[in-house]
Amino acid sequence: MPRTALIAGNWKMNGLAGDLGFFGEVARAAADSPADILVCPPATLLALAAKTCSGTAISVGGQDCHARESGAHTGDISAVMLRDAGADYVILGHSERRADHGESDAIVRSKAEAALAAGLIPIICVGETQAERESGQAETVVARQLAGSLPENPQKMELVIAYEPVWAIGTGLTASEADVAEIHAAIRKRLPEPLTTRILYGGSVKPANAESLLSLADVDGALVGGASLKASDFTSIIGAVGR
């Protein structure tokens, strides 16, 4: 079964109301693309972005959610709230959350379960550090993160995996095509629904390298950070799908 490519933008802690013109610029490329197009703005812009994107081929998503539906968790946002604001997806277990907020695999799993229960598609991020790659541990680390972060009973539920080597995020470095192909194949073998689950690559994806990365067999799309902040860059990455 062919998998529809997914090009996802992760704005991280960037973006103000004045930046919503981005969506108008990207909407045409999204309409013409065979891929699913997603933008994950900061939570403050989610509802506005969802409204701006209604009637376009752009979906919006959150960058994190809490594992509980509601309650005394000051500053947190639940999956149900993201859904209510118009999100279709949520990024979970990004390496910046794992590092900045001490998110363990078990926390990521409980968030993923909450996301699925709320009707969101979780994008579960995994990836090794530079030291782990240099010591030959990349595949072991990713396998361990997957085993600990995937929901307990994900069968028949749609989720997305993003392989993002930590050392490639925001650095301008990308993993070699051979390394990406190897890890993506290893991830696919460990998925409960290997044929239908999309595996994205992330880490310094830009217009210049998108086409070659997206042409790899087990790469079903990209999670794009820095290059998703500029409409022209994001549009040209969208244009690299299926070229």
Q: Which residues are catalytic?
A: 94, 164
Q: What is the 3-state secondary structure (H, E, C) of 19-51?
A: HCHHHHHHHHHHHHCCCEEEEECCHHHHHHHHH
Interface of this chain with ligand PGA, residues 160 to 179, rule: CB under 6 A: 164, 169-170
CA–CA separation, 126 and 144 (whole Å): 9
* Residue 27: φ, ψ to 5°: -60, -40
Report the nearest approach of ligand PGA to the CB of residue 62 (Å).
14
125 pairs with which residues across the strands?
162
Comparison of 36 and 80: residue with beta carbon closer to ligand PGA: 36
Comparison of 46 and 126: residue with beta carbon closer to ligand PGA: 126
Q: Which single residue brings its beta carbon nearest to ligand PGA?
A: 225
Query: For residues 151 and 107, is the Cβ–Cβ distance under 8 A?
Result: no
> Does the footprint of ligand PGA cover residue 46 (CB under 6 A)?
no
Comparison of 36 and 164: residue with beta carbon closer to ligand PGA: 164
Residues 6+ apart with CB under 8 A from 102: none
> Does the footprint of ligand PGA cover residue 194 (CB under 6 A)?
no
> Does the footprint of ligand PGA cover residue 223 (CB under 6 A)?
yes
Cα distances (Å, whole numbers) of residue 157 to 104, 130, 165, 215: 22, 32, 25, 26
> Does the footprint of ligand PGA cover residue 205 (CB under 6 A)?
yes
Q: Which two tokens stand for residue 39?
A: 């933008």
> Does the footprint of ligand PGA cover residue 218 (CB under 6 A)?
no
Report the nearest approach of ligand PGA to the CB of residue 196 (Å).
23
Comparison of 117 and 216: residue with beta carbon closer to ligand PGA: 216
The dihedral region occupied by 156, where left means phi > 0, alpha psi between -120 and 50, and beta the remainder, is left
> Does the footprint of ligand PGA cover residue 202 (CB under 6 A)?
yes
The binding site for ligand PGA (CB under 6 A) comprises: 10, 164, 169-170, 202-205, 223-227
